[in-house]
Amino acid sequence: MKETFSFPASVQSDLFGYLKPHQQDILRPYLRLIKRPYQEKLCISLLDYLEGNGLDTLAEPVLAKLQEHIVEECSLRPLTVSRFRIQDSSEPKSIGTIVKQLFPSFSNS
Residue 6 lies in a domain: no
Structurally, how many domains does the chain consist of?
1
Residue 75 lies in a domain: yes
Residue 13: the pLDDT is 92
Domain containing residue 75? 11-106
Counting as low any pLDDT under 50, the low residues of the chain are 82-90, 109
Residue 79 lies in a domain: yes
Residue 15 lies in a domain: yes
Query: How many whole angstroms separate alpha carbon 41 and alpha carbon 6?
Result: 22
> pLDDT tens for residues 45-75?
999 999 999 999 999 999 999 999 999 999 9
Residue 17 lies in a domain: yes
Whole-model pTM over 0.85 = no
Query: How many whole angstroms separate alpha carbon 48 and alpha carbon 69?
Result: 16
Residue 97 lies in a domain: yes
Residue 3 lies in a domain: no
Residue 5 lies in a domain: no
